[in-house]
Structure 1
């Protein structure tokens, strides 16, 4: 019995030491796909969950409470053939706020360049030195993007190695013929997004991720006034990106994840002069004007 208990302890320690980094949920919406054979989507959902959640994506050790919560929502809009699929992919991730039970949204992005081939029960394997499957490459890209953004919220430029890995996915997929992997003249796609994140021109975006989360939200439990001031500093950093390039996709990227939260932060708790903040928010994100006007 003693030996058995020792063996269980060793196995538990080994499991914790090699705990994967991602805690992802998957949902596949097939309402727009005719036909009654939906089993392939059930299998796909299970295989994607196992692939993303069981693969070790980094060489770091993540504790169970450090796993990154994220969600992948696949909406299949058409099925041109038995193994061809087209649709959209919504990717969301969050991270815990220190001293609270609150999970703050970090990433909220809809990928409209989503098409792939899939044969039921095929084995998902990611090859960093080549391109084998568009579905696998897209999943790997977003896992690395999630890891990179999470890293940036805990340390200044803490996500660089993961952004580099995402860029490598893009480079390997360049010649695949699938959309989303090459530069787009306007709007957001996978190529433009990672290129801009790694560009020094938009360093203010990554600085904002760090200041907003570590110096802002993580301080809310102990000093709301300072936390709000630091979050405004993060928004000033985003304003700096706007000054350099008013149509920068990273501004929209940031606001898609944070606009609702910003309103909640400055409409509750310790009083704070929001006059300059509201002016800046209106300037850099006019599409959210109704939200900014609701800030007390």
Structure 2
């Protein structure tokens, strides 16, 4: 589509003489070179098929490449807009933000940069809303904020959301996307795995429904805790799901891993998740699950 669009015209030259032939355009006759004026962010290149995609068209397709069906990562706000019924979302713990419990040098600055870059207070948004008319409590992780690493605030917000759902007898939906525990918070981060898992266990003991939706990437301590505790576990196509990285595993076991290892499809074939759901079908699939639960 764009082949030759920015190619400069080449002219014939004569090596035997320093003078230019009559049929070659002289420098003084050339019109100023006109470069195309393309605003930043208007086009996005698909890493999978390499095609340039018009951003507005991509947004209309729920951030899914129309050529190869590759699922781009979504922001938490985009995810909520696509899943929650219009006008029903109410955010919880909006102003909760991280501190520096271990006095790690530069951590506050890193948090501040993440806030400015993502326009988020932390790596997860929690709230209440409706999916196809069914009341739910939802948590959505956003990988733009320090790769959605799980610090004390992420764990606290998710725990409070699940406890609210248990109190009001509501189902829970959590969209996971994380690089794992946040190393700058040490044990304060690791304990969030147990804290969120315990809240989900109490929610389960109350006979209530919880579904996890694994998006790209879901790794580390999130995978080792609440991401794999759903009564039903869904995943988006092509999502990276695992605990340690592929390179670390290969170096540890001294073997090559199979093709597609740690993708959603690989995990589905090996019984780790229940279904891989294309983004366009995700809301209706969740609505159907909630309807079954209500019945």
* Range into which the TM-score falls when normalised by the shorter chain: under 0.3
With normalisation by structure 1, the TM-score equals 0.26
Larger Rg: 2
With normalisation by structure 2, the TM-score equals 0.26
